[in-house]
Structure 1
Amino acid sequence: MTISFNHTIVAARDKQKSAEFLAELFGLPSPKPFGPFLVVALEHGASLDFADVPEGEEIRRQHYAFLVSEQEFDAIYGKIQARGLQHWADPGQRRPGEINHRDGGRGVYFPDPAGHGMEILTRPYGSGG
């Protein structure tokens, strides 16, 4: 049996706002409703299924990293800059307004509307460069 990642549920205060933020930033199709979720479809059949968390319930910060092409990085990072979104070269947020060049690629971290840590990178970590 071949095992592959299929989906994960992303907690949000406003699933519409969070799902549309990611879909628009990444140039993906508009989110589609599925039961109580708003689904953002990724390549290879994987999806992020956004769900509203009841008021007063804590949203635990999660980290979501996306491997993108150089051209996709340029487009997404251009939107991050144009919108004045906070972003960092490192997960510890010690290098604001920068990108990293790990393994000969590029990477950047930024928050989504629910406060989750998002990351785009052009080379998998440990791939050399």
Structure 2
Amino acid sequence: MPVQLNHTIVRARDKKRSAQFLAELLDLEVQPQFGPFLPVVTANDVALDFADAGAEPVVPQHYAFLVSEEEFDAIFGRIKAAGLAYYADPGRTRPGQINHNDGGRGVYWLDPDGHVLEIITRHYGAEGRTG
């Protein structure tokens, strides 16, 4: 079997709020709690397991999601409808814009814990990619 990402843990101040925030924007479902984790599973079966950080500080991470053009339009519409700030770049120097890297579209925004979320319609480096 080839190596595949199965899950990752997303630390949050409030795992229910953060899991619901992501699920609603991406049109996914929050799955039943599994141990201390509240999973949100993507179409390629990767689980983002939200966990309460407790007394630990939440260290912002970056999570990027590859979506179709139609999904981009729908998600971007929900981002704008929610009044969220969005950016064309991860450094947040191009507010209110999307990017067109590699012939696709991409946008970044923050979740309630400061994690940087991204949707893209093409793999970065897609022009030279073989897989």
TM-score category of the 2 structures, normalised to the smaller one: over 0.9
Q: Which residue of 1 aligns with 2:33?
A: 33
- 3-state DSSP of counterpart to 1:10: strand
Q: Which residue of 2 aligns with 1:69?
A: 68
Q: What is the TM-score with the length of structure 1 in the denominator?
A: 0.95
Structure 2 residue ranges without an equivalent (≥5):
none
Specify the code of the residue in structure 1 equivalent to 2:96. Answer: G
Deviation of residue 128 (structure 1)?
A: 2.7
Q: Which residue of 2 aligns with 1:18?
A: 18
Trace 1:1-129 onto structure 2 (pairs within 5 A).
1-55=1-55, 57-128=56-127
CA distance in structure 1 between the aligned counterparts of 2:71 and 2:45, rounded to whole angstroms: 19
Cα deviation, 1:61-100, whole Å, max 9, x if unaligned, reads 1000000000000000001111110110011111001100
- 3-state DSSP of counterpart to 1:45: coil
Structure 1 residue ranges without an equivalent (≥5):
none
CA contact 1:18–1:114 (8 Å) conserved in 2? yes
CA contact 1:20–1:31 (8 Å) conserved in 2? no
CA distance in structure 2 between the aligned counterparts of 1:12 and 1:32, rounded to whole angstroms: 17
Q: Percent of aligned pairs with the same residue?
A: 60
- 3-state DSSP of counterpart to 1:109: strand
Specify the code of the residue in structure 1 equivalent to 2:103. Answer: G
Deviation of residue 31 (structure 1)?
A: 3.1
CA distance in structure 1 between the aligned counterparts of 2:44 and 2:24, rounded to whole angstroms: 19
Specify the code of the residue in structure 2 equivalent to 1:58. Answer: P
Deviation of residue 58 (structure 1)?
A: 1.1
- 3-state DSSP of counterpart to 2:74: helix
CA distance in structure 1 between the aligned counterparts of 2:81 and 2:44, rounded to whole angstroms: 29
CA contact 1:30–1:40 (8 Å) conserved in 2? yes
